[in-house]
């Protein structure tokens, strides 16, 4: 399906993912990443770290906290773009409820 053929309305949000990138993660981590991205769509008003925390919280509420943490650690270990050490430390701390 072509994106230009998708009917749009005000209630729709677009979540985009890099498919090649997702192959570098375990399937449960991919689910966690997708939930995180959906979490961003539910919190469009939250920016920067506030937005990351809100998106992580959405994935956590769906029971994927462990897999978000695992995915963050994996991304950091693989030196992937967008996985910055201090940011990840803060997100993991928040996910662990500290």
Cite the beta strand spans of the chain per DSSP E: none
Pair 59, 32: CB distance under 8 Å: yes
Q: Binding string, 59-98, against Zn ion, x = CB under 5 A? A: ----------------------------------------
Nearer to Zn ion among residue 28 and residue 83 (C-beta): 83
Q: Binding string, 43-62, against Zn ion, x = CB under 5 A? A: ---------x--x-------
C-alpha torsion angle, residues 40, 44, 45, 46 (rounded to 10) = 20
Nearer to Zn ion among residue 55 and residue 68 (C-beta): 55
Question: Binding residues for Zn ion, per CB under 5 A?
Answer: 52, 55
């Amino acid at each position: 399906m072509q994106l230009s053929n998708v009917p749009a309305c005000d209630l729709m949000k677009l979540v985009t993912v890099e498919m090649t990138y997702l192959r570098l993660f375990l399937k449960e981590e991919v689910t966690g990443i997708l939930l995180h991205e959906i979490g961003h769509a539910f919190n469009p008003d939250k920016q920067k770290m506030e937005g990351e925390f809100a998106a992580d919280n959405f994935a956590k509420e769906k029971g994927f906290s462990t897999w978000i943490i695992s995915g963050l650690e994996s991304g950091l270990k693989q030196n992937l773009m967008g996985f910055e050490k201090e940011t990840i430390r803060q997100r993991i701390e928040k996910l662990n409820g500290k």
